[in-house]
Amino acid sequence: MLDFDTCNAARLRRDPAYDGVFFIAVRTTGIYCRPVCPVKPPLTRNVSFLPSAAAAERAGYRPCLRCRPETAPFCAAWNGTRTTVDRALRLIDEGALDGGTVTALSGRLGIGARHLARLFSEQVGASPLQVAQTRRLQRAKRLLDETTLPMAEIAQRAGFGSLRSFNAAFSRLYGRAPSTLRRRRAA
């Protein structure tokens, strides 16, 4: 955390370089703001500085309705829908769609399945199921190349429900059975 004088000078200048770096808590109003807040600056004796919006809320302050500090840079709300998509991609990587549904995934994210599909279409260019399928195939291909595991084990470790679904997906993408790639590598 920066020292009081640095934060206070940035607050009085409304310096955008400090936006999201610290938050201003005003004791007399019980509100916390961003350094760029357009309201009349409170007296210096009435302010303290906190490192995050969460810290300000934990201390009992409520967000300013003018500068909306909960949307300051470097917080999840500021990143908007990109944060939701990034979180969905992490959950997909962890196997959320290997045994679950898009509806269950969207529920974990706090949004509807249609909205999740729309976000993926806009930002990823594919549906959540297509992304999960591609990631499964990438894991399977890596296991094929780097191990001598049986095909059923590769299918299971890559997140496929069965060897049959693994073979079908692999054949659709690569135009050949996974075993042909393994034979080629062995030769």
Q: CA dist 79 to 11, 21, 74, Å? A: 23, 15, 7
Tokens (6 digits) for 35:
């350094």
Q: Which of 10, 26, 31, 37 is catalytic?
A: 37
Q: Which of 7, 10, 33, 137 is catalytic?
A: 33
Rounded Cα gap, residues 69 and 22, in angstroms: 10
With tokens 């196997």, the residue in question is: 95
Q: Which of 24, 64, 119, 143 is catalytic?
A: 64
User: Residue 44 in 3-state DSSP?
Assistant: helix
User: Which alpha helices (DSSP H) does the chain contain, by range?
Assistant: 4-13, 53-58, 76-79, 81-93, 102-109, 113-123, 128-146, 151-158, 163-174, 178-186
User: Residue 39 in 3-state DSSP?
Assistant: coil
Check if 7 is active-site.
no
In sequence order, what are the residues at sequence separation of 6 or more whose Cβ sits closer than 8 angstroms to the Cβ of residue 74?
A: 20, 21
Q: Which of 21, 47, 67, 102 is catalytic?
A: 67
126 conformational bin, left if phi > 0, alpha if psi -120 to 50, beta if neither? beta
Residues identified as active-site: 33, 37, 64, 67
